[in-house]
Structure 1
């Protein structure tokens, strides 16, 4: 018996109203990667995905003829990822897709019964056996669409593996691992929104878990690591986690600054000595635990000798992690980081932690991709020559900064942070040409800009489960190998304005 959606599909076929009525494996002529449909009906009308409701479109036994004579049917040709199932996992180019059936149709995405290996589920299983690719479409909420959603074609994926397991709700589900084919147009970050159907509530719900907490209990909030890329899956190794900065033997920090005389909390920027260093204003607002109002050349926070309490808003970056972060494996970029929580614009995410050392000590070290130069001057200029931040020339430490800038424009920063062997979660955050985090130099204990703390703040409001990124700031052709030749590294950030090379 046909349901309403099947009736519509059948009627469109009968009236010859479908552009490509015969289902086909692979791409559809005229539909390129990035093409957007504004409803499921549009996909049906084109013949791109012939179901109004089902996530899996497949060819049945009637296609076992001609060029498909030796194929095994049913055979999947397209799937829609739209957050329908709670067990789905979407890492952009590597997907774990949940089969169809057994879920609650009320819209809460919960499984209420076991799935069966038939129809679309069997069709995807046959794709594994035959090495057949499927078209992947992602659905997103969209206020500008008449249907309330938009569906983006993100290319061809190969179904590389399938298995059955107990899902989050305790019922058997079929899982399919899909990997995007090489050589297709790069996905843009705006095209990928769905990751988990919902945020896991406990470690047992985390798909691909390889480590429950990479910090080993050091952080107040555990940081799990997941890996659905490697076979067998491995956890991050080769480093020691530390939530606090370590110092090389030849490093001596300046004495603690005098600080302010405020009691309890700092309220009056006219009387607070730390606020005066910030241009007679507080850099943070009392919202969401403290949010930076705007990016500054340097942020001066209250420190050890200040009279205010630890809860003072002018200590916002010193409170450690407060968002639930996850380290996850990607197919091309190695490890990456995302948050399970919404992060508002201006909120501090984490500090870049490692071993504080003199840059000259690492001059002969090769293949170390975890060195962060402490260069407030570069931060002030704007990475890559982008718009320079405004400087307040009235600040005593910033006077004659232009002259200092000119003198040091071609020199290497005196100090850096090496997170290769010791570091925190920040060492796993990837580069993007259009990042959602920005670098902010912060001074709290002392006032030496050469030894400023390096903080990562949210540049925009970041929705849950979106990868966290910042601009590494390399200039093209700026990195040389031991032989003096220019080294080049491809960029896989996926941003629409990607520069194609990291350096």
Structure 2
């Protein structure tokens, strides 16, 4: 992975990919540890560049993951929404295979800058729609660990960076929780917007645990801030109203408050 970024805060340790959180001997942690250290046995045996007809990874994804399409006379990247299984280190295809995108590392034209919200991530060059920006990487933790950390952040007046992803496989929920508060990559500086220019897509690169991959879904101009929507709100729970943080995105359709989730 090519990741040459560093943090502006010396108290944060830079990790280019997810690491597992500290062991707490719980049953949830044992399951998490097993998944974190697991790899998919199924992989492709393609010679050079993968094609759907013969690639097991693309067949598992139910089609090509990353496409080039023509829009308004221009060729643009298009990302399939779900599911995405990239070729992995176990695969025999070339490193130039088009099904290897997220694993190669973040977009190079990014810059951490001070803004009204504290710090934000900005583009230093034009970013076409469909481009992979970066992963939202940090510690992979359990729901109980997330709940404790969120509570401690509130008591200490700290920012909460915990991201909760819930997927459904049939009727079976799959939960991935990432906390880049202390160990994280450049993705931790991306702020919320009610009208974002990026979104998160779970991408699996040989592991059951997905990478929270941030893709542009609109063209991003130089010096424009990179944003994504932080997720759903637990608006029906009156207990969370006292914890709501005002949203500073200043978008036309701003909801007024940051998204909030109970772990």
Same fold (TM over 0.5): yes
Q: Does 1:376 align with 2:167?
A: yes
User: Is the Cα–Cα contact under 8 Å of residues 325 and 340 in structure 1 kept in the other structure?
Assistant: yes
**What is the CA-CA distance between 1:242 and the residue it aligns to?**
1.2
Q: 1:240 to 1:362 in 2, by over 3 A?
A: same
| Alpha-carbon distance between aligned partners in 2 of 1:257 and 1:479, rounded to the nearest angstrom | 42
**What is the CA-CA distance between 1:238 and the residue it aligns to?**
3.0
Q: 1:319 to 1:360 in 2, by over 3 A?
A: same
User: Is the Cα–Cα contact under 8 Å of residues 477 and 488 in structure 1 kept in the other structure?
Assistant: no
| Alpha-carbon distance between aligned partners in 2 of 1:302 and 1:285, rounded to the nearest angstrom | 15
Residue 454 of structure 1, aligned match among 212, 234, 248: 212
The 5 Å alignment of 1:39-54 reads none
Residue 113 of structure 2, aligned match among 312, 324, 328: 328
| Alpha-carbon distance between aligned partners in 2 of 1:284 and 1:242, rounded to the nearest angstrom | 26
| Alpha-carbon distance between aligned partners in 2 of 1:328 and 1:273, rounded to the nearest angstrom | 42
Match of 2:228 in 1: 470
Q: Does 1:275 align with 2:58?
A: yes
| Alpha-carbon distance between aligned partners in 2 of 1:306 and 1:297, rounded to the nearest angstrom | 21
Q: 1:476 to 1:358 in 2, by over 3 A?
A: closer
**What is the CA-CA distance between 1:362 and the residue it aligns to?**
2.5
Q: 3-state DSSP class of the match of 1:258?
A: coil
User: Is the Cα–Cα contact under 8 Å of residues 374 and 452 in structure 1 kept in the other structure?
Assistant: no
Greater C-alpha radius of gyration: 1
* Residues matched between the structures, number: 236
The 5 Å alignment of 1:15-414 reads 220-222=3-5, 235-248=8-21, 249=23, 250=29, 251-252=33-34, 253=36, 254-266=38-50, 268-279=51-62, 281-285=63-67, 293-331=78-116, 333-365=117-149, 366=151, 367=153, 369-377=160-168, 398=169, 401=170, 403-404=171-172, 414=175
| Alpha-carbon distance between aligned partners in 1 of 2:196 and 2:148, rounded to the nearest angstrom | 30
Q: 1:461 to 1:479 in 2, by over 3 A?
A: farther
| Alpha-carbon distance between aligned partners in 2 of 1:236 and 1:480, rounded to the nearest angstrom | 35
Q: 3-state DSSP class of the match of 1:310?
A: coil
Q: 1:479 to 1:467 in 2, by over 3 A?
A: farther
Deviating more after overlay: 254-263 vs 488-497: 254-263
User: Is the Cα–Cα contact under 8 Å of residues 57 and 87 in structure 2 kept in the other structure?
Assistant: yes
**What is the CA-CA distance between 1:494 and the residue it aligns to?**
1.3
| Alpha-carbon distance between aligned partners in 1 of 2:105 and 2:237, rounded to the nearest angstrom | 33
**What is the CA-CA distance between 1:357 and the residue it aligns to?**
1.6
**What is the CA-CA distance between 1:464 and the residue it aligns to?**
1.0
| Alpha-carbon distance between aligned partners in 1 of 2:186 and 2:257, rounded to the nearest angstrom | 24
**What is the CA-CA distance between 1:329 and the residue it aligns to?**
1.0
Q: CA RMSD in A?
A: 2.6
Q: 3-state DSSP class of the match of 1:360?
A: helix
Q: Does 1:489 align with 2:245?
A: yes
Match of 2:73 in 1: none
Normalized against structure 2, the TM-score is what?
A: 0.80
- Please list the CA deviations of residues 449-475 of structure 1 after superposition, one character each: whole Å capped at 9, or x if unmatched: xx2111000011111110000000141
| Alpha-carbon distance between aligned partners in 2 of 1:430 and 1:334, rounded to the nearest angstrom | 9
Q: Does 1:435 align with 2:196?
A: yes
Deviating more after overlay: 343-352 vs 238-247: 238-247
| Alpha-carbon distance between aligned partners in 1 of 2:47 and 2:257, rounded to the nearest angstrom | 51
Normalized against structure 1, the TM-score is what?
A: 0.44
Greater relative contact order structure (CA < 8 Å, 6+ sep): 2
Q: 1:480 to 1:324 in 2, by over 3 A?
A: farther
| Alpha-carbon distance between aligned partners in 2 of 1:478 and 1:356, rounded to the nearest angstrom | 28
Deviating more after overlay: 306-315 vs 361-370: 361-370
Q: 1:488 to 1:478 in 2, by over 3 A?
A: farther
**What is the CA-CA distance between 1:296 and the residue it aligns to?**
1.3
User: Is the Cα–Cα contact under 8 Å of residues 67 and 79 in structure 2 kept in the other structure?
Assistant: no
